[in-house]
Structure 1
């Protein structure tokens, strides 16, 4: 089970009791943990497409970089994000 730092969910999907189905997420946003950066950069990039989360945004305050990943597609190793773009602190997208 994964718990993003920020979950983007359609308002109508928030009217359910209990846990939120990960397939209801529009996006997951993570701020990289200083103590375990591989969890966000490796594990969650692998797991979020498996969970059907269509957009994953990750920001790393240690390096001033980040990425936005989207467009899940099948691979021999399971679903993966096809598209990503890098962001850097100070750039218009950051």
Structure 2
């Protein structure tokens, strides 16, 4: 289980030093790097159905029921595709976090 860390003015310097954000690396550059990694993973690592479901749900703002109707599948199947895709993306991202 991960601990929740509350960042305050008193501890933010230590947290940033411990997290590897020193020596020129910024939160913004780390975020941009992770976006690129996840974008490539969405394109190359997900199945076609997972990719369609993730893109429609998160980027196009469609409801699961609407995605299901467009694909001709049950909405619970769309939910499973989204869950499996998120798990796969989380797993891929975990290689780059530390």
TM-score (norm 1): 0.20
- Larger radius of gyration between Structure 1 and Structure 2: 2
Greater share of strand: 1
Greater RCO (Cα-Cα under 8 Å, separation 6 or more): 2
TM-score (norm 2): 0.20
